[in-house]
């Protein structure tokens, strides 16, 4: 991660990344608390870590098992630095194994919520209730604590859910304090930062904006920048940042892929021109995308096709509007970590994103991705600081590949029509009921499942539509929303009665993890 010019010489929090999806989320939570954090790979040298003069060290979770041969491990000399250390999940298990404890595969994994009970006072849990809910995601467990480590909290399934070596100021947590579904997670991290590490709060998004604009100016020089703009929060904030940096040398391009929601192109172009004062260049490539996606069902193939075609479209657009050497994208960190695109050894691929893992290896542009280390709620804060309108900043997220990853049935115009109409009904009714801004995201999914129904005394054999509505803060974890039965009934009735080709509607009640928010 780039070090900001205003980075304090001392006092940052060093995060050792063992490949967890949540590593950057840990960094983000720490930045929210006003402390700068730096992420280092577990393969980083001891000298590199020592050179940062950190106030504390956090060891992340990861997809590996400490029981595997050649599992990730960092130089054990980190324990000699003399600063507080917090291990989370895999990081805790690694600490336990280093000091002679025993880690074993649990009889069953522990995923999702559980109740934590504090049994010993510690600075880490200072000011917290004796019992609260935490979020787990692990299969291994610390079965025997090392010498000089004490249990400070437990859950029903984990007798050593939290432990501490008070002599060495080393803490271990089996749960994830960084995710929003852990109650008091921010307080736990704040206790570690300020009560244990005595760190200073000196990081803010205002300085991020200043540094990003200056970095873009230095990188671009007098060249032109082409920007793929979708009307979503990410690309809009990216447009505002790049526009402040290079002015009229920014060329925003709206590509109609044929995979957009109902009336999307007209609505977004008008909104962006009014709010940002940008001239939006519309490029209709819908037939190209639909032709390439015909009969493609595999989600990874879809994303790769869309990523490659986007670049080809941008090459053509760049020729039409004048030579551009840079391509700006609204890539966020969740895109990167789900694509394992950050180069983190040991990170698991979940899915490619068209503007990360779906890009061809060779592209004719240099990339500008000023938001690549931010999460959605941070991006909205940046957008607010830049003066973007509320209506633009609080639109529900829409995936770059568009309806292609919400249409699990074959990609063809008839099925996209069904999905557009169903999705429009979902959004319309949720807005009417006053839920739109209370939830993170809501949408319809067209399933490749047909079932028998009866309509007007006649047998039907039509598609199934799934409704997805989730609440989240950052997109890294999410819970399904318990929408009122009356609202779900209204949505279901309208879809079945008004959308030709659908005779069944279901509601998705899975959380993330283990599911993802999007179906593909």
Write out the catalytic residue numbers. Answer: 89, 176, 178
In DSSP terms, 137 is beta-bridged to 111
Per-residue 3-state assignment (H helix, E strand, C coil) for 455-508: ECCEEEEEEEEEEEEEECCCCCCEEECCCCHHHHHHHHHHHHHHCCCEEEEEEC
Q: Is the peptide bond before 513 cis (omega within 30 degrees of 0)?
A: yes
Tokens of 89: 């999940």
Reduced to 3 states, what is the DSSP secondary structure of residue 451?
strand
Q: DSSP character for 349?
A: P
Using the CB atoms, write b or e for 391-426: b if 16+ within 10 Å. Answer: ebbebbbbbbbbbbbbbbbebeeebbebbbbbbbbb
Task: Identify the burial level of 202 via C-beta atoms within 10 angstroms of its C-beta, where 0-12 means exposed, 13-18 middle and 19 or more buried.
Answer: middle
**Based on C-alpha coordinates, what's the Rg of the chain?**
24
Q: How far apart are CA 331 and CA 235, in angstroms?
A: 8
Specify the pairing of strand 479-480 against strand 13-17: unpaired
Judge whether 233 is annotated as a binding position: yes
For the CA atoms of 40, 43, 46, 48, what is the dihedral angle to 10 degrees? -50
Largest CA distance in the chain: 78
Q: How many CA atoms lie within 13 A of 83 on its CB side?
A: 25
Judge whether 423 is annotated as a binding position: no
Judge whether 232 is annotated as a binding position: yes
Judge whether 20 is annotated as a binding position: no
Judge whether 139 is annotated as a binding position: no
Query: Which phi and psi (to 5°) does residue 508 adopt?
Result: -85, 115
Task: Identify the burial level of 336 via C-beta atoms within 10 angstroms of its C-beta, where 0-12 means exposed, 13-18 middle and 19 or more buried.
Answer: buried
Residue carrying the six token digits 């391009």: 253
Judge whether 231 is annotated as a binding position: yes
Judge whether 236 is annotated as a binding position: yes
Could you list the residues known to form a binding site for ATP, using ranges.
Answer: 230-236
Could you list the residues known to form a binding site, using ranges.
Answer: 230-236
């Amino acid at each position: 991660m780039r070090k900001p010019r205003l980075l304090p010489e001392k006092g940052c929090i060093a995060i050792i990344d063992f490949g967890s999806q949540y590593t950057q989320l840990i960094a983000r939570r720490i930045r929210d608390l006003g402390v700068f954090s730096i992420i280092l790979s577990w393969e980083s040298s001891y000298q590199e870590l020592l050179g940062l003069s950190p106030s504390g060290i956090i060891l992340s979770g990861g997809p590996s098992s400490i029981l595997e041969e050649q599992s990730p491990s960092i130089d054990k000399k980190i324990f000699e630095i003399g600063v507080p250390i917090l291990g989370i999940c895999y990081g805790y298990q690694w600490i336990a194994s280093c000091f002679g404890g025993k880690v074993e595969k649990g009889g069953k994994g522990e995923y999702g919520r559980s109740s934590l009970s504090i049994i010993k006072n510690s600075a880490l849990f200072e000011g917290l209730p004796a019992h609260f809910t935490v979020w787990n995601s692990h299969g291994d467990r610390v079965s025997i604590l090392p010498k000089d480590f004490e249990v400070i909290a437990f859950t029903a399934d984990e007798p050593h859910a939290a432990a501490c070596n008070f002599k060495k100021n080393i803490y271990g947590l089996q749960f994830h304090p960084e995710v929003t579904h852990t109650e008091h997670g921010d307080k736990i991290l704040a206790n570690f930062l300020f009560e244990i590490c005595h760190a200073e709060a000196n990081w803010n998004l205002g300085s991020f904006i200043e540094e990003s604009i200056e970095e873009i100016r230095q990188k671009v020089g007098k060249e032109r920048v082409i920007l793929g703009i979708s009307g979503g929060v990410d690309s809009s904030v990216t447009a505002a940042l790049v526009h402040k940096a290079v002015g009229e040398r920014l060329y925003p391009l709206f590509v109609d892929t044929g995979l957009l929601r109902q009336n999307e192109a007209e609505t977004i172009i008008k909104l962006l021109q009014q709010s940002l004062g940008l001239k939006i260049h519309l490029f209709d490539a819908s037939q190209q995308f639909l032709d390439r996606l015909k009969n493609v069902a595999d989600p990874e193939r879809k994303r790769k096709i869309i990523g490659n075609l986007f670049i080809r479209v941008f090459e053509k657009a760049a020729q039409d509007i004048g030579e551009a050497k840079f391509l700006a994208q609204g890539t966020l960190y969740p895109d990167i970590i789900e694509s394992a695109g950050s180069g983190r050894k040991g990170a698991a691929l979940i899915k490619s994103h068209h503007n990360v893992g779906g890009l061809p290896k060779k592209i004719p542009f240099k990339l500008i991705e000023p938001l690549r280390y931010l999460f959605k709620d941070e991006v909205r804060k940046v957008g607010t600081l830049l003066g973007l309108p509320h209506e633009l900043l609080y639109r529900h997220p829409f995936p770059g590949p568009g309806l292609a990853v919400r249409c699990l049935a074959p990609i063809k115009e008839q099925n996209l029509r069904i999905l557009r109409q169903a999705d429009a009904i979902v959004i319309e009714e949720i807005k009417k009921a006053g839920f739109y801004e209370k939830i993170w995201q809501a949408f319809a999914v067209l399933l490749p499942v047909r079932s028998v129904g009866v309509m007007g005394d006649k047998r039907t054999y039509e598609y199934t539509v799934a409704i997805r509505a989730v609440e989240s803060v950052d997109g890294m974890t999410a819970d399904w929303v318990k929408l009122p039965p009356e609202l779900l009934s209204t949505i279901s009735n309208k879809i079945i009665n008004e959308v030709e080709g659908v005779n069944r509607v279901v509601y998705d009640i899975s959380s993330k993890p283990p599911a993802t928010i999007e179906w593909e």
